[in-house]
Amino acid sequence: MNSGTRIILRAHQQTNVRTNSSVSVHYMPYLYMEYTVKHMNLNADIPGVKERTLVAIKPDGVQRRLIGQIIKRFEQRGFRLVGLKMVQVSEELLAQHYVALRKKPFYPSVLQYMTSGPVVAMVWEGHNVIKSTRMLVGHTNPAEAEPGTLRGDFSIHVSRNVVHASDSAEVAQKEISLWFQRSELIDWVCCDHGNIYHP
């Protein structure tokens, strides 16, 4: 809860009172308690909870209607979605995203693939989310991806491997700033936060 949030508690109590005439009289007093909730940093004692990573569902994943199933995997794990949008990616953005691949002979095919349809870009937040996401996504080559991973379950060939995920904290920070404006990321608290992070 945010600092300064005001909460009204209404305690409703119905009580029986015996009078001298032995007639039962009912009354319903209402107790109002108003107080200010102090700012609570729910993440103060949990290192890495605010870690974020970029996940992008590639055109093949979008075309095959896998968006919901992919999001479900992350939500079931307990991660928090703080940014989401569908975009038609430009070659200019891809040139910055895949800067390490620009001199590779297969780069033109990557451009063709990634601009062939919309991409769903997401930012997920949580404890060790970068490492956990890489494990959840699976090996780059679906033929080597474990069953139960996104690529192991949903893809066959390395050229159509459904999803991208940042592979380090440094890369995640760069990719998030490339794909999202700061105003597009929503910092909010899940109602189940205490069940995920606190014993």
Q: What integer pLDDT is reported at residue 44 of this predicted model?
A: 43
Is the pTM for the entire model greater than 0.85?
Answer: no
Parallel, antiparallel, or unpaired for β 52-57 and 163-165?
Answer: antiparallel
Q: What integer pLDDT is reported at residue 46 of this predicted model?
A: 52
- Collect contacts of 194-198 with beta carbons under 8 A, ≥24 apart: 194/42, 196/78, 197/42, 197/43, 197/46, 197/49, 197/127
Does the structure show a pLDDT above 50 at 25?
A: no
- Candidates 49, 57, 8, 48; CA nearest to 30 is 8
Q: What integer pLDDT is reported at residue 21 of this predicted model?
A: 42
Q: How far apart are CA 45 and CA 68, in angstroms?
A: 32
Element (DSSP H or E) covering residue 53: strand 52-57
Q: What is the pLDDT of residues 121-134, one digit of tens each?
A: 999 999 999 999 99
Q: Can 97 be counted among the known catalytic residues?
A: no
Question: Please, what is the average pLDDT of the chain?
Answer: 81
Q: Which two tokens stand for residue 164?
A: 């991208």
> Which residues line the annotated binding site for ATP?
58, 106, 134, 140, 151, 161
Q: What integer pLDDT is reported at residue 141 of this predicted model?
A: 95
Give per-residue burial for 61-76: e unless 16+ CB within 10 Å, then b.
Answer: bbeeebeeebbebbee
One-letter amino acid at 106 equals F
CATH code of 52-197, in short, is 3.30.70.141
Average pLDDT over residues 75-82: 95
Q: How far apart are CA 51 and CA 119, in angstroms?
A: 23
Q: What integer pLDDT is reported at residue 13 of this predicted model?
A: 40
- Candidates 140, 150, 160; CA nearest to 76 is 150
Q: How far apart are CA 154 and CA 4, in angstroms?
A: 46
> Which residues line the annotated binding site?
58, 106, 134, 140, 151, 161
Does the structure show a pLDDT above 50 at 198?
A: yes
Q: What is the pLDDT of residues 101-111, one digit of tens each?
A: 999 999 999 99
Q: What integer pLDDT is reported at residue 34 of this predicted model?
A: 34
Instruction: Find the catalytic residue in 39, 157, 164, 198.
Output: 164
Give per-residue burial for 19-50: e unless 16+ CB within 10 Å, then b.
Answer: eeeeeeeeeeeeeeeeeeeeeeeeeeeeeebe
Does the structure show a pLDDT above 90 at 27?
A: no
Average pLDDT over residues 31-42: 34
Q: Which two tokens stand for residue 176?
A: 């998030």
- Candidates 173, 181, 179, 80; CA nearest to 132 is 80
Q: Which two tokens stand for residue 194?
A: 């205490």
Q: How far apart are CA 27 and CA 15, in angstroms?
A: 6
Q: What is the pLDDT of residues 146-189, one digit of tens each?
A: 999 999 999 999 999 999 999 999 999 999 999 999 999 998 88
Average pLDDT over residues 116-120: 98
More confident residue, 43 or 140: 140
Share of the chain above pLDDT 90, in %: 68
Q: What integer pLDDT is reported at residue 162 of this predicted model?
A: 98
Give domain limits for the chain. 6-36, 52-197
- Residues with Cβ < 8 Å from 84, sequence gap 6 or more? 120, 121, 122, 123
